[in-house]
Structures are given as C-alpha cells and as structure tokens.
C-alpha cells in the first residue's frame, strides 16, 4: 500500500463527497500512523494563522498529527503567510488535509498547495442526471460490488439525488444482497415497502397509461409499507414525472436524446423513457394540463388539507389516491 499524501486538498461544495474524502484520507493516514491525533483549524477566523502554526509546530516527542484546515476560501493574508511557512518546512510527522469550497476566493492558496504537490480530490456539486448516476456506480465499485445499469437507474429514480441517502442505500444493498451483480429486481424487492420508491413506481405506471397496474401498486404499497406517506410520495412523484414529460415534449420531435439530455439536465436513458410516455399522450395534451391542477389539489389533500371542511383520514387519502391514479392513467374517449 502506498504511503498517504502529506498534503490532501479537497475542493468543492458537495458536503457528502467532502466528508467521504476526508474520512478516507484520515483512515489512510492512521494506517501508516495509528496514533495520529487530529486537530481542526478554521481558516476563516481571526486566530487562524496562529492556530495553524501551533498545530504544525514540532513537539517534544514528535507525535503524529493530522491537521484539518477548513474554509480556505475565506482565509486572509496572515494565514497565507503561515501556510507558506508550513509548506516550506513541513514536519515529517504532520499531514495536512485542506478543504476549499470551490468558490472564487482563495485562489492563491490553491496555487500554493498545488505547487507543494498536494493530492487534489474534487468534491464538486453533483447535479441531477449523468453525474449522479456516475457517483452511484462508483459507490458500488468502492464496495467492490457490481450493479447493472438498470439497477443503478432504478435506485437513482427511487431514492433521488440526495447523496447521503444514496450512499446509505448502496451500503444496505451490498450488505444484504449476496448476488453479484445487483440487479433491478434486487433494488425493487429491497425497497418494496419504502414510500418514495413505491411512489416512483406508481408514477411510472400512471404516465405509461397502465391504470390497473398503478392501482395494484397503490394497494400493495399501502399494505406493505408506511401507508401514511404513500399518498403524498406518490403524488409528488407523479407531479415530478409529469413536469419532466412536458419539458421533454416541449423540445420538439427533431431534438436528439443527447441534445434533450444536455439541455434539460437529464440522463439520456431517462429522455428515452419520457419521450415514450409523451407519445402515449399524443392528442391528449389537454388532459396532461388538467392533471397538473388535479395533482396540486391532491398534494394539499395528502398533506392533511381539508375536503369539505374535514381533514382526511389515512384510509380516505388512499381512496382519493386510487381514484387519482386510475382516473389519470385511463384513456378518455
């Protein structure tokens, strides 16, 4: 195993990736120096320069030290001087882990660290679509496991693009599913009782104009999961799916899937699905527009709103959801 870098620079504002990078770096250092202490230095505070000098100063017994420097983008000139002193004569027992949030400030600090040979780890914000899919795939690889592309896509659609939730979902799957690779069926089976996953599946069936299957999914979700949240999560998923269908439909028939994906920030595979759903509503776009209004009303009901002056019970919400998915998905004469 190669020795850990003496200086590690994490750059970007995606906190989940920053936390992951820092934790992995600390773990690697402590394999080489098991007793290394860790001290944090906030570069944005007035005493930051003195804090850095103190943290990196030689000690009587030469204890190993990990110095975590945060808020580098907000540091002042006095901190720059202190950092240059440390970089010019970094003690053998001191490792630096530095975080810069990727904004415009503190460029001279980045140049100094790069000039000193820092190992740079990008932690840039993960936008929806292709980049999020790549992160999930890499997360499976980090666990030394494989997942099919369909499994990754379903997991992304199910959990959303909240990275901590995605990382947790991957960890649960690799711990509980012995088969390799992990497939779409594994993902659907594992998250069968999770309301937001069920909501995504119901939404897909509605916009694919499959009323019987959507109704079956509503009843299965209510019976096997948290029936108090099935309604809201389903309505939110339907509304999100409808907005994407309309966005893709509005791009026109001549646009390629790659062009649409780039313009709307969607993964190419998702564009194909949305185009097929849009085609199923050909000639019935007025019904889609009406569905936007109905979904807005349904969201208020599912959040505990009133119907004729009375708050709905869980069973009433589920009944309203059943009427909504069947009435929306069914073709009109």
Identify which has the larger pLDDT, 305 or 106: 106
What is the rounded average pLDDT of the residues 118-133?
86
Q: What is the Rg, in whole angstroms, of the alpha carbon atoms belonging to the chain?
A: 26
Q: Is 144 helix (H, G, I), strand (E, B) or coil?
A: coil
Q: How far is CA 96 from CA 13, 41, 55, in A?
A: 19, 10, 10
Q: What is the pLDDT of residue 305?
A: 60
The pLDDT score that the predictor gives to residue 197 is: 61
More confident residue, 91 or 119: 119
Pairing assessment for the beta strands 7-11 and 94-100 based on DSSP bridges: parallel
Q: Which of 78, 103, 122 is the last residue of a domain?
A: 122
Boundary residue ending a domain (122, 155, 176): 122
Instruction: Please report whether residue 2 resides in a domain.
Output: no
The SS3 assignment for 92 reads: coil
pLDDT score of 86:
94
Confidence label for 193 from pLDDT (cuts 50, 70 and 90): low
| pLDDT score of 80 more than 90 | yes
Residue 1 domain flag:
no
Q: What is the pLDDT of residue 117?
A: 93
Mean confidence (pLDDT) of the chain: 84
Q: Kindly state the DSSP code that residue 93 receives in the 8-state scheme.
A: T
Q: Hey, what are 145's tokens? A: 């496991």
* CA distance to 170, 214, 324, per residue, from 330 (Å): 36, 10, 10
Token pair 């199923």: residue: 280
- Domain co-membership, 200 together with 322: yes
For the chain, the maximum distance between any two Cα atoms, rounded to a whole number of angstroms, is: 87
For residues 142 and 25, state if they share a domain.
no
Same-domain check for residues 320 and 209 = yes
Between residues 210 and 266, the one the model is more confident about: 210
CATH code at position 270: 1.20.272.10
pLDDT for 70 beyond 90: yes
Residue 119 has pLDDT above 80, yes or no: yes
pLDDT at 229: 66
Q: From CA 328, how far away is CA 211, in angstroms rounded? A: 8
Residues 313 and 209 occupy one common structural domain? yes
Asked if pLDDT for residue 307 goes beyond 60, the answer is no
Task: Note down the domain range covering 73.
Answer: 7-122
Say which residue the tokens 């980090």 belong to: 142
Does residue 57 belong to any structural domain of this protein? yes
pTM above 0.85, yes or no: no
d(CA 311, CA 253): 44
Confidence of residue 155 (pLDDT cuts 50, 70, 90): confident
On whether residue 72 sits in a domain, the answer given is yes
Supply the pLDDT for residue 137: 92
Query: Rounded to an integer, what distance in angstroms lies between the CA atom of residue 264 and that of residue 270?
Result: 11
Residue with tokens 């709905």: 312
SS (H, E, C) 193-260: CCHHHHHHHHHHHHHCCCHHHHHHHHHHHHHHCCHHHHHHHHHHHHHHHHHHHHHHHCCCCCCCHHHH
Last residue of a domain, one of 139, 166, 190: 190
96 in a domain, yes or no?
A: yes
pLDDT number for residue 310: 61
pLDDT given at position 148: 93
For residue 321, which of 205, 227, 235, 194 has the smallest C-alpha distance?
A: 235
Same domain, 40 and 20: yes
What integer pLDDT is reported at residue 114 of this predicted model? 94
Between 21-30, 188-197, 272-281, 310-319, the lowest mean confidence (pLDDT) is in 188-197
Helix (H) or strand (E) holding 157: helix 149-159
- 3 vs 238: which has the higher pLDDT: 238
Same domain, 203 and 324: yes
Residues 324 and 213 in one domain: yes
For the chain, what is the domain count? Answer: 3
Cα–Cα distance list, 126 to 134, 164, 270 (Å): 10, 12, 17
Name the phi and psi angles at 122, rounded to 5.
-80, 130
**Inter-helix orientation angle 268-280/227-249, to 10°:** 90
């Amino acid at each position: 195993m190669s020795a850990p870098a003496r200086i590690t620079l994490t750059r970007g504002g995606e906190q989940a990736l920053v936390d992951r990078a820092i934790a992995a770096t600390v773990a690697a250092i402590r394999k080489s120096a098991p007793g290394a202490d860790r001290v944090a230095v906030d570069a944005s505070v007035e005493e930051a320069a003195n804090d850095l000098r103190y943290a990196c100063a030689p000690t009587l017994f030469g204890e190993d030290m990990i110095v975590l420097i945060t808020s580098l983008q907000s540091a002042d000139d006095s901190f720059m001087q202190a950092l240059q002193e440390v970089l010019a004569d970094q003690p053998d027992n001191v490792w630096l882990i530095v975080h810069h949030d990727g904004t415009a400030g503190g460029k001279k600090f980045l140049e100094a660290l790069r000039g000193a040979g820092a190992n740079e780890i990008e932690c840039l914000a993960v936008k929806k679509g292709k980049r999020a899919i790549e992160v999930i795939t890499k997360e499976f690889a980090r666990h030394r496991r494989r997942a099919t592309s369909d499994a990754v896509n379903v997991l992304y659609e199910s959990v959303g693009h909240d990275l901590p939730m995605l990382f947790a979902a991957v960890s649960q799957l690799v711990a509980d599913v012995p088969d390799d690779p992990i497939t779409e069926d594994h993902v659907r089976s594992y998250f069968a009782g999770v309301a937001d996953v069920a909501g995504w599946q119901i939404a897909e069936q509605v916009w694919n104009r499959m009323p019987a299957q959507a109704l079956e999914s509503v009843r299965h979700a209510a019976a096997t999961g948290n029936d108090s949240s099935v309604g809201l999560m389903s309505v939110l998923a339907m509304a999100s799916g409808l907005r994407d269908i309309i966005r893709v439909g509005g791009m026109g028939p001549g646009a390629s899937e790659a062009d649409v994906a780039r313009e709307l920030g969607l993964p190419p595979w998702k564009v194909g699905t949305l185009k097929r759903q849009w085609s199923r509503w050909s000639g019935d776009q007025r019904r889609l527009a009406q569905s936007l209004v109905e979904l807005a009303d349904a969201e208020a009901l599912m959040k505990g709103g009133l119907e004729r002056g009375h708050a709905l019970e869980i069973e009433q919400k589920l009944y309203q959801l059943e009427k909504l998915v069947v009435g929306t998905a069914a073709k009109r004469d």
